[in-house]
Amino acid sequence: MAAGRRRRTRTVRRARGRPRARRRHPRTQRAVARPRPAALPYAYPHAFVRGREPSAARTTRRTKAGSVTVTCTVSSSSGQVPAAPGNHNPAGPVSSSTTPATYSSCTTSMPGVSASVTTSGSWGVAMQNGAPVTAGLTIPTGGFVLKTSGLASCTVTAAPTSAATVNGTWTNGAPSTLAFTNAQVPVKVTGGFGCPTSATSSTFNAVYKVADTTAPASQITVTG
């Protein structure tokens, strides 16, 4: 009986280590690095903000001159976080410029009267870290003009003789908010019948939701 050949087996072991990287098509090897916004100190003592270009939008703004109330459901403005060292002031608030706030979808409390708002000039905002964080919105001279038409044709000019600052508060959140409650703004009212021409101040109420346009997932916050 013939003896059969012994079958040999061979065991191959792979060396331990990192797995071999797949070869990719040259087009798929390209990558775009997206820098993550750093925590930048904003203009307040011991305060920090994430992002560079905050934008405030989607707010309900109410202005009352005399017995007439004008409500605008949409308002927006944008600006930029000051670069160091201008973003820190241990002696008080730090200011930064913003675009003139825009207002749309405005209605009035007077039947048969419509309203529109135009803005101009260099607007600004300043904040001071504290409890609460205080904020100030600066309106340049004549930078806000409200006009009504219909049964009453009136013109309301805010900050008629000099720049005016509207005082409010900042609240950290997702998103953070900049709120003005019953703030007083100097105004001049001109027009005919139905216009509150004797009014010298207007009551301002608004809540702005502040977002970071460079990194929407980040929040702009002020901390101490």
Number of other residues whose CB lies within 10 A of the CB of residue 57: 17
Residue 133 lies inside a defined structural domain of this protein: yes
Residue 22 lies inside a defined structural domain of this protein: no
Residue 63 lies inside a defined structural domain of this protein: yes
Residue 179 lies inside a defined structural domain of this protein: yes
Return the half-sphere exposure (C-beta side, CA atoms, 13 A cut-off) of residue 125: 29
Structural domain span for residue 167: 38-212
Residue 13 lies inside a defined structural domain of this protein: no
Residue 9 lies inside a defined structural domain of this protein: no
pLDDT in tens, the chain (224 residues): 444 455 554 544 444 444 444 444 433 333 333 322 222 223 333 333 333 444 554 455 566 555 778 999 999 998 887 777 877 777 778 788 999 999 999 999 888 999 999 999 999 998 888 888 899 999 999 999 999 999 989 999 999 999 999 999 999 888 888 999 999 999 999 999 888 899 999 999 999 988 888 887 877 777 65
User: How many angstroms separate the CA atoms of 172 and 157, rounded?
Assistant: 32
Per the structure, the count of domains in the chain is: 1
Residue 111 lies inside a defined structural domain of this protein: yes
Residue 31 lies inside a defined structural domain of this protein: no
